[in-house]
């Protein structure tokens, strides 16, 4: 009995001393946490996509709690409902979220362009890009290994016929694919009625025509027909100002007049 006690008592005493020190320390040195933080964090979708400009959802929630001036409508995946909840918790005015979707500026699928080489190597766009700009004859176009599809948190992207395609209804506009594409083919646009130039080839028209029958040849026809002047051709490729495009009275006129079919339209309704 005594042998047990001589073993148990010192351990118990040490344990109690440690516990006492910890209790005192946690009381004395307690750090106040904003009680709104868990509620705010709960509202955010938790995709940690960084579309808000902060380091993940935790970072955005912390910034919201610490400063009144941080807008509540920065979370694009969460959209209006999240912004509304956040505004309620923090007691600030609710502002509409500008929903965005990603679009691919390339339509050079296997029917319109050809491979120039056969590629054996790591199955990733970033790796393929390093070997002579990829296997396709157009070095500006989609590399087709789906780095964007792999990173997409919503499975909204698939690679079909060698070109990445985005399902606009699944896309939450987080912008992760924009960063993943080594050819910078993907951009975020406002989720409204829109016309998109599905080409990024900056070569001269004749050169573009040689490698892809769907490419923008920079003929400026769309520039002339656009009633709002939303289209400009720079570096041999048309660029559309989405803000103006949404108000177009003659929606789709640019796509109808495009000589090569490089402009596509999407209507929300």
Q: Considering only 26-34, 41-49, 106-114, 136-144, which stretch makes contact with another protein by CB under 8 A?
A: 26-34
- 55 touches another protein (CB under 8 A): no
Give dist(CA 140, CA 129) in Å, integer.
10
Residue numbers 89-128 binding another protein by CB under 8 A:
121-122
> Is residue 18 part of the contact set for another protein (CB under 8 A)?
yes
HSE-up of residue 124 (Cα within 13 Å, Cβ side): 10
Task: Work out how close the CB of 4 gets to another protein at its nearest, in angstroms, rounded to a whole number.
Answer: 12
Beta bridge partners of 232: 239
Min dist. Cβ of residue 119 to another protein (A): 13
Segment interacting with another protein (CB under 8 A) among 23-31, 55-63, 193-201, 234-242? 23-31
Positions 167 through 226 that interact with another protein (CB under 8 A): none
> Could you say which DSSP state residue 169 is in?
T
Q: How far is CA 177 from CA 75, 106, 126, 154, in A?
A: 17, 14, 13, 11
CB atoms < 10 A from the CB of 107, how many? 26
Q: Is 25 in the site for another protein (CB under 8 A)?
A: yes
Stretch that binds another protein, among 22-30, 103-111, 173-181, 230-238 (CB under 8 A): 22-30
Q: Is 67 in the site for another protein (CB under 8 A)?
A: no
Closest by Cα among 266, 26, 22 to 167: 266
Rounded to the nearest 5 percent, the helix, strand and coil shares of the chain are: 35, 15, 50
To the nearest whole angstrom, how small is the minimum distance from the Cβ of residue 26 to another protein? Answer: 6
Which of these segments, 13-21, 94-102, 105-113, 201-209, binds another protein (CB under 8 A)? Answer: 13-21
| Helices marked H in 124-230 | 125-130, 147-151, 176-180, 205-211, 221-225
- The distance of closest approach from Cβ of residue 24 to another protein in the complex, given in angstroms and rounded to an integer, is 10
Q: Interface residues with another protein (CB under 8 A)?
A: 6-7, 10-11, 14-15, 18-19, 21-22, 25-26, 29-31, 121-122
């Amino acid at each position: 009995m005594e042998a047990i006690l001589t073993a148990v008592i010192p351990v118990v005493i040490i344990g109690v001393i440690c516990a006492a020190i910890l209790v005192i320390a946690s009381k004395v040195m307690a750090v106040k946490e904003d009680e709104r933080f868990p509620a705010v964090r709960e509202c955010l979708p938790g995709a940690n996509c960084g579309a808000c400009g902060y380091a993940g959802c935790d970072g955005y929630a912390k910034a919201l709690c610490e400063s009144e001036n941080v807008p509540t409508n920065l979370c694009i995946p969460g959209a209006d409902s999240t912004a509304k909840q956040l505004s309620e918790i923090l007691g600030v005015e609710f502002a509409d979220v500008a929903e965005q979707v990603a679009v691919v500026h390339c339509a050079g699928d296997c029917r319109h362009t050809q491979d120039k080489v056969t590629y054996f190597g790591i199955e990733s766009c970033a790796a393929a890009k390093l070997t002579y700009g990829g296997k396709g004859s157009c070095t500006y176009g989609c590399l087709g290994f789906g780095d964007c599809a792999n990173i997409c948190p919503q499975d909204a992207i698939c690679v079909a016929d060698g070109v990445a395609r985005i399902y606009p209804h699944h896309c939450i506009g987080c912008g992760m694919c924009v960063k993943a594409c080594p050819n910078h083919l993907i951009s975020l646009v406002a989720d409204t009625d829109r016309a998109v130039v599905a080409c990024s080839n900056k070569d001269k028209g004749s050169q573009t025509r040689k490698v892809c029958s769907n490419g923008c040849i920079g003929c400026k026809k769309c520039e002339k027909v656009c009633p709002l002047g939303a289209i400009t051709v720079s570096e041999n490729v048309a660029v559309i100002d989405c803000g103006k495009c949404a108000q177009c009275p003659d929606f789709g006129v640019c796509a109808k007049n495009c000589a090569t079919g490089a402009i596509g339209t999407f209507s929300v309704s």
